[in-house]
Structure 1
């Protein structure tokens, strides 16, 4: 727990979940914030939709990257991995990562 309640003196966190496909962090999605979690638990009813090209024969996701307007694009083949991160939302400083699962 990152913060302390002014009223009760107990530790608490304002948590949210961030999710992305491995290798595509720039396309991450976030849930809303579960405020004042006293025991690290939060409830989220959130749908995240990720679009990607999947090669079933090779069991990989294909990412197409272009380096700029005049450069060729390239294909990256990566295994399908969903990354889930739990964060503490801070108002006056950087958010703190509380956990991660791949």
Structure 2
């Protein structure tokens, strides 16, 4: 199965963190990157999708209508990916010392 139009997963991780935390700065702290990196990734995602996902309201970043539509699916998708990875923990080989 091919997903040629799917943006990089990192874009969605940055989007989800910024949306959940309401701040690029807080998202950057959680993701261990700079605020500028979060801002750039969000701009890249918005350009790729052709819609604005956030607008500034004072010091907070607030989701646009399009961002609100996308957030639940992105959170569900990231959660499913995390669950899939956790399922593999059972099969991990012990590391040799």
- Normalised by the length of structure 1, the TM-score is 0.21
The answer to which structure has the higher helix fraction is 2
The answer to which structure has the higher strand fraction is 1
Q: Which has the higher contact order (CA 8 A, sep 6+)?
A: 1
